Each structure stands twice: as structure tokens, then as C-alpha cells.
Amino acid sequence: MRRGGTGRPGRGAGTHARSHALARAFVLALALGASLLLGACAALNDSTSATAPTPPPRLEETLSPAQRQEHERLVASYGGAYNNPKLQAQIEGVVNRLVAASERPNLHYRVTILNSPAVNAFALPNGSLYVTRGLLSLASDNSELASVLSHEMAHVIANHAATREDQMKQAVLVSRVISDVVNDSDLGALALARSRISLASFSRGQELEADAIGVGISARAGFDPYGAERFLTTMGRQASIRSSSMSQSASADTTDFLASHPATPERISIVMANAREYASPDKPGERDRKQYLAAIDGLVYGDDPKEGFVRGRRFFHPKLGFTFTAPEGFTLENTSQAVLGASTSGREALRLDAVRVAGDQSLAQYLSSGWIEGVEISTVESLVLNGFPAATAVARGEQWSFRMFAIRFGSDVYRLIFAARELTPELDKQFREAAETFRRVSIEEAENVKPLRIRIVTAGLTDNIERVAAKMDVQDRALERFLVLNGLQKGDKLSYGEQYKIIAE
């Protein structure tokens, strides 16, 4: 979560809206967040050969001003670039090896590691490849990384990325027209989201084609072509953990999005068939597991410090200097725009974001200024939360009701919005108690909180899966997360002297 922008009605991150539109935004934001894991062009990145790769041309030397601007916008939207020279060199080495085995060895590629916990990778028509550290954390060896990189390269080789770019320009234009002419940016955002869903459907065949091309490139480069199957399996299992942790509300939007992309079992069966054309399972090719694990040892896992941390029901932002704890039964997810939360039942949700509000406007006035309709004026009240000026109010729509808080903290106003299908007195009490946990953190607290990282451990003689999984610094489902992270299944045994990934500070 970043510091917010303007607090004027009609602007800001997820601001103004009719109460039913805000409810829709809650459901859409929570639902699409998990869907993107399965729908986005997913892949993996890392490691390479021992030979130092020839560095590709720098971005500023090869991109036009417009391309450079798009690159900077894209990188900023994913939390910036993740700076790790050793890891960068590993990935570039793998890319060079794949390029030499591809159908177009004359193409130049530039790789950017994105500082995001999201699981994603994609390519631009100019040969810019992007991979998130969230995706890198899921890979277990070089062949899985190569499967991701070759898949993205295939989009460039087959000119898929250029087609998507043209289509997205039209989608963005439509959303802007709706936002500006109809003066409803929520409706514009919804139109853009639906356009993206339509584009995903358009790219269904392209994704499968890229899988086939990518497996061939990876195999010819000497990597195990079955790495694609293993990674797709891991990605599907990780998506299941995430979607079950973050309660989803079923909607047409989520169904259409998932239905428009190849289901993970379908893709797995296809890449398996592709891999058999190049190698038999008993002689698959190189994996380079140790080299890959050495490259990602220490990789930041999950939230980045500058965006704050989620630890169970608690959100902690050492840079901005505050913390907040969600009600019992809530699962939190931190994004660059806001902190989102949902209850296990899916009937309650929350959003925490920040905006700028003029100093001469009281918070009570702000809550009733029209940025959300349906506010019950009689419920607006001013209060103090742990020493900070605040105000609260209730807004009601057709299907959802909201308990809203505005808290002035430094130069920003933090909006804590709870949504419920039925705002009962007991539930409203829980929301108030949660709002009262918003407080400043001490310098000592801020310094003691550290990000989670991928750590590589070696199995000892007496180690088993349960014992090593217990070392994971996660709030829940440590065993299941350990299995997914390492491509293991229940009933598998650890191999003495073998290296495994855990999550720890």
C-alpha cells in the first residue's frame, strides 16, 4: 500500500462511487485478484549457465521515448524493479541460451525483475521481458525458469504481444470515454476489466501456441522440457491456496475470466505431449536445481517493506508508521493501491487506502461530501482514535452496507471502509473495535520488522517434511505451503543432503 492521492470527489484510488458501485468494486477487486493468478500469462524466471552472458543493450539505448515511458509506467505499477545483480545475471544467462536455440536468434531481449509478490511474467513487442519475484519464488530449478522465459519469448516470436498491445489500446480508450463522458470512473474501470477479460479469451489459442513454441525452445537449449509441466502444476496449486485464503464471491466476471483461459489441467496435458516430442521422461535434460536455488536464496517473499506487511490479520507499515488489525475471521491482502480484506464467509469485506483531504475540511464534512452516496447523515460523528482526529459514518446500498472511518494521520487521511451484506449491531461493534487498533508504530517496532525471504536449507538425516515445514514463518498452512513451494506431494520423503526452500526472515 502506498501513500494516497487527492481526496476530491470523483478522483483517487477507488474513491467516489454510488454505494452499489463501491460494493461492486469490493467484489470485483477481491475476485479478480485471485483470478489473475490463473488467467495471467504465468511463468517463471531464474538461473543460467556458468558462462558470463554478454550484457544486452540497455533500455535507454534501444527504446523510443514512448516505449521508455510505457516501460517506466509498467515497472512502477508492479512496485518498481527488484535490484539483485547476481539474480539478474543468472536470468540473462538463461535468456541468452534460449535465444540461441530459438527460431529467431537475432532478436534482443531485456529482462526486468519486478518487485511484486504477484505470480506473473509477460513480454512487450520490443523484446522487453518482465518477471515478478513472486513467480521466481515458485520455481524449483533452471528448467522451470526456462519454461517461463521461453513461453514469453514465444509471444514475441509469434507476434502475439503486438496484437495484444493494439487490442489493449482500444480497451483503454473505451474506459477513458466512459469515465470522461459518463463521469463514472467506476463504470469505466469495470468496462476496462471486461475488455481485459475479452482480450484474455482472444488470446486463448495464443497461450497454447506459446506453450508449444516455448517447450521446443527450452528442449533445444538443453533444458528439461518437462519443467513447463512441473511449473504449471505448482502455479495451479499456489493459486488454490491463495483463492481459498482470500474468500471469493462468485460472479459472472470471475467465471468469464477463468473460463476464457486454458484450465491448468488442460495446459498441463498439452505441454506434457509437447515435451514427449523432444525427450523421454527418463532422459529429460538439464534441471540445474542447485544453481537455481543458490540464485534465489534470500529473495524477498511476499510484501515489500516499502508497501507494508501483512502478518495474519495485522497490517504493518513501518515506512508510513502505522499498524491496523482486521476483525476475527478476516484474511488480508496488500496491494500497491490499498489493503483489501474478506471474511471467510465472503459476506464481509474491507478496504484501507489513503487520500489527501484539505486541512480546512473536517473529516465529518469529508464523509458526507458526496464521494459515496447513501451516507446516513444522522450516523456521522467525529471522534479520536489513539490520538488521531477521525470521523465515522454508515452508508447503505441495495445489497451492501458500509461502516466508514476517515483518520487523519500526518499529511494523509486514511479511509477504512468495512462492507457487509447485513450490518448487524454485533458486526458493527467488531468493525469499530478493529478501527480502534489503528495506531502509530514506534521506531523500535519499525526497525524490528523484517520482510520474509526465501531461505535454502539442507535436509539432515532425521529431517522429514513436517519438521522442515515447521521452520516456515507463515501464519497458516505451513505444511501445505512448503509442499507447493518445493513441488512436493503429501507422502513424499525428503532426501538427505537435498536442498529445499522455506519462508523465513
The domain segmentation of the chain, as residue ranges, is 28-296, 309-444, 451-504
pLDDT at 345: 87
121: its cell numbers: 511474467
Identify the CA nearest to 236 among candidates 283, 269, 204: 269
Quick check: 257 and 32 in contact, CB under 8 A? yes
Q: Whose grid coordinates read 471522534?
A: 383
Chosen CATH of 309-444 out of 3.20.10.10, 3.40.1000.10, 3.30.70.2190, 1.10.1040.10: 3.40.1000.10
Global pTM exceeds 0.85? no
Identify the CA nearest to 156 among candidates 127, 131, 122, 199: 127
Q: Which long-range contacts (CB under 8 A, 24 or more apart) does 361-364 make?
A: 362/391, 363/389, 363/390, 363/391, 363/406, 363/407, 363/408, 363/413, 364/391, 364/393
**Residues of the chain with confidence (pLDDT) below 50:** 6-25, 27-54, 60, 168-202, 247-261
pLDDT at 179: 39
pLDDT at 44: 30
* Cα 81 to Cα 77: distance, rounded to the nearest angstrom: 10
Identify the CA nearest to 44 among candidates 130, 159, 108, 158: 130
Instruction: Give the Å distances, CA to CA, from 178 to 7, 12, 194, 197, 252.
Output: 21, 17, 13, 17, 21
pLDDT tens per residue across span 340-367: 999 988 899 999 999 999 888 999 999 9
Q: Considering the domain 451-504 in this protein, what is its CATH number?
A: 3.10.350
